[in-house]
Amino acid sequence: MKIRFAISMALTTAVSTASVAAAETIRATSGFGPDHPIATTIYPELSARLSEFTDGAWDLQDTPSDLVTPIEMSTALRDGTTEFGALVIPYFSTGFAEAALPSELSVVGSNSLAISSATTEYLVTCAECQAEFTQNGQVYLGSGATSPYNLLTVKPIRTATDLRGVRIRTGAPLFAAFLKDQGGVVVQFPSSELVEKLDRGAVAGTFDSNQDIIANHLGDLVHYVTEIGLGVYNGAATATASRTLWDRMTSEDRAALARASQYGIAKGVNEFLAGADAARDIEGIEFIEMDDTLEAAKQSFIDKQLANAAQILESRGVTDASAKIDRYVLLVGKWEELVSEDMTAEELAQLRHDEIFAKLDMASYGR
């Protein structure tokens, strides 16, 4: 009996050891530092779900910074320097003209849950967008969205006139265009450099969501938030896999990664919204409502942006831009009907999976 028990234990240990040895870890780089929601919430949730959905065969290990910066992400994914990362599409407009369309239309809608989901469905089902990802050696698996964008500054911006000559950091062409219209000076660099640039006086503020005050430790530098609410940031393809990773995964593994990505992103969108609320509790920051001049400037810009969007996109190489704009607007409307303010991250993730990724053939998607 002792001999049989010993043999049984040995076999169990051998099977367990083989299972552990077979497990694979995806090398990920969120890229925005260890305190950003992608590093603190999205990728940890994604990893946990991936392990759950693959019975422990796969997980994900993030390097939040240093390995690859956001402006290096496209090349790093293509070359396999990292296998999974957050691709900020507006940083690479030359190679992603089609995929940048939702970013150009981020003034459409105001519900972050709906906008992130509409952006994801658009990019998944846009043949030209998919071709761009393929050409760059990447596989797109989902986008998030921030809370509405405001002006976070060291000095108060109370009127449209106050923006003249002020150096403000932006992360997308749309926000840059608004600032230029008001006579502001646009400065562009990754958000990871904000503390240094603000501390040195290189910029007087940033066009960001309130949550970035917490994520980028700006509480001692930013003293004013002018609540412009000019759309959300939906330009980050938060879940982007390298083609080299995708090619070594089975169809089942790919489906699990796509599904896990929705859970991570959904939890992250809720984290962005919660962080925006928490920023209001930081001492020493004044929240400023728009005056009539800023309100008028915002509405004028939105009207002009929507009227000129097709021309702007086509000048960048987008084909049949008007029809694609209409399709994206319809998707935002669709998702505004599907989501609700009290929806949990779990419910949103399952809905995104069912409506988008469960309908795909993972043997051919991304190839």
Contact 208, 171 (CB under 8 A): yes
Q: What is the pTM of this model?
A: 0.86
CA distance 120 to 357: 10
How far from chain centre, in Å, is Cα 32?
11
The answer, yes or no, to whether residue 8 has pLDDT greater than 90, is no
Beta pairing class for 167-169 and 185-187? parallel
CA distance 101 to 119: 9
Q: What are phi and psi of 152, to 5 degrees?
A: -105, 110
- 208: which DSSP letter? E
CA distance readout (Å), 327 to 99, 122, 141, 318: 13, 8, 20, 14
**Mutual angle of helices 251-278 and 345-355, in 10-degree steps:** 140
Contact 162, 156 (CB under 8 A): yes
Over the stretch 13-69, which tens digit does the pLDDT of each residue have?
544 444 445 579 999 999 988 888 899 999 999 999 999 999 999 999 999 987 899
DSSP-assigned letters across all residues of 99-110: TTHHHHTTTS--
The answer, yes or no, to whether residue 7 has pLDDT greater than 50, is no
Contact 51, 17 (CB under 8 A): no
Contact 265, 349 (CB under 8 A): yes
Closest CA to 367 of 204, 139, 178: 139
The answer, yes or no, to whether residue 236 has pLDDT greater than 90, is yes
The pLDDT > 90 percentage for the chain reads: 81
Residue 307 tokens, joined:
């009227």
Closest CA to 21 of 30, 13, 11: 13
Helix (H, G, I), strand (E, B) or coil at 59: strand
Over the stretch 297-322, which tens digit does the pLDDT of each residue have?
999 999 999 999 999 999 999 999 99
Closest CA to 26 of 237, 261, 245, 244: 245
